Structure 1
Amino acid sequence: MIVKITYDDQRLDVFDTSAFTAGLPLGKANMLTNFEVRFDTMGEGGLWLAAHSYQSCVEHEDEDGEIPVARRTKGWRFLLSSAEELEHVELVVVDGEAIIKRVLGHLIDLQSFDEAAYECTGTSSAGLHARIAELYEYMQALSGEESPDIPGVDKETVDACVRAHAKAQAESDKESELEWGDVDEVGW
């Protein structure tokens, strides 16, 4: 797994889980490694990567044809970005997929947002601000709530995107009216 963190001063941190310093950092018996990038706990001291292992016994007896089980063992946590550094994070990418993005001054959980947007409105080529407004409108219609929560996006960012989207839509509608008005005057 490759984790890239871009900061507002153009610094780029790159973390590569395939390049541990030690040859076998989780022990000789490690058969599988489970990596967690914990976005759900960012407000609790920073962005962390946890590495857990599935240890296997070198020797095992075949008991009645049962397949041996390697259970997960909690491993190590690695601080990728401290709480202070998070204030300057612009983008977090995991294996080529943008997961966290700063939008209008706030960090947005793109993974949670994208899952909800795909479920509710499908795929879209619209920009992120427009997609936030589209999901908001859909969630309003679905829930009947005046101001529904949008997964992964704070209320302030949602409100700003909805206002901007409404203004752009009104301007577009006004331009369309003017164009069609010109056509009517010509006699179409």
Structure 2
Amino acid sequence: MKVQIKYRNGRLDVFDTDSYTPSQPFGDGCMLANYEVRLDQLEEGLWLQAHFYETDPRFKEDLDDGVIPVGRRSMGWRFLIAETGELDDIEQVLVDGDRALVRMGDALVDVMRLDCASALLLSDGGGPPLASQLQGVVEALRASNDAMDDESAAKLVGASWEALAWARELQPLQQVEIESEEEDWMDHEGD
């Protein structure tokens, strides 16, 4: 993971998790690393947290045949990559090239959360928002199979009934009434 912090004064900080000084900072048993850029704790500064998953031979002890051992997550390290006093000078933060934080006026905006909310609620120009897509697909599945209920249809497309209910409450599908040309012609006959 690469985190870039761009400041108003032209300063650029780059943090690259692939470029540790020791080749294996977590030890020989590390098989997977988990990195968190903590955008939710900006009042404490901008933190990068690194955790790891160990593969310890002891995890295989006393397992029945065919049972897969579980690599355990271990807490790693927490790195302060921008202090609270530096936050006012940040223009943007990029994580692997994607904007994560951007300055708008005097405040930083969490672009990842904004992107998620806009995908749920607004069209990106390429089709309906996700809330409408979920509802539309569920309605189409139910129309094609009278025995299918909302919960089964939602589950079939990877959502829960609760997610479907949330989408319906948030953004009800627009019911479009289509009039035939003949009916429209008849309505205007006397005009």
Q: TM-score, normalised by structure 2?
A: 0.62
C-alpha deviation, 1:80, in angstroms: 0.7
* Contact 2:102–2:109 (CA under 8 A) maintained in structure 1: yes
Q: Which amino acid aligns with 1:50?
A: Q
Aligned partners of 1:124, 1:118: CA distance in 2, in Å? 11
| Structure 2 SS opposite 1:28 | coil
TM-superposed deviation, 1:58 = 3.5
1:123 and 1:71 map into 2 onto residues whose CA distance is 40
- For the pair 1:3 / 2:3, whether they are aligned, the reply is yes
Partner of 2:116: 115
SS at match of 1:118: helix
1:50 shift after superposition: 0.5
Distance 1:37 1:111 in 2: 12
Please tell me the root mean square deviation across aligned C-alpha atoms, in Å.
1.8
The one-character-per-residue Cα deviations of 1:103-159 (angstroms, maximum 9, x if unpaired) are: 11210111111111111012159xxxxxxxxxxxxxxxx69xxxxxxxxxxxxxxxx
Unaligned runs of 5+ in 1: 126-141, 144-188
CA distance in 2, matches of 1:16, 1:36: 13
Structure 2 gaps of 5+ residues are 127-169, 172-191
Distance of 2:111 and 2:90 partners within structure 1? 14
**How many Å apart are 1:99 and its aligned residue?**
0.8
Per-residue deviation at 1:76?
A: 0.2
Query: Counterpart of 1:22 in 2: which secondary structure?
Result: coil
* Contact 2:8/2:89 (8 A) holds in 1: yes
Number of residue pairs aligned between Structure 1 and Structure 2:
126
Matches within 5 A, 1:6-155: 6-44=6-44, 46-58=45-57, 60-61=60-61, 63-123=64-124
Counterpart Cα distance in 2 of 1:90 and 1:8 = 6
Partners of 2:74 and 2:46 in 1: how far apart?
21
In the alignment, residue 77 of structure 1 is paired with which amino acid?
Answer: R
The residue type paired with residue 36 of structure 1 is E
Q: CA deviation at 1:72?
A: 0.7
Write out per-residue CA displacement over residues 6-56 of structure 1, whole angstroms, 9 at most, x where no aligned residue: 001000000100011111111111110000000000112x10000001011
Is the Cα contact below 8 Å between 2:88 and 2:106 reproduced in 1? no
The answer for the alignment partner of 1:174 in structure 2 is none
Larger Rg: 2
Q: Could you state the TM-score of these two structures normalised by the residue count of structure 1?
A: 0.63
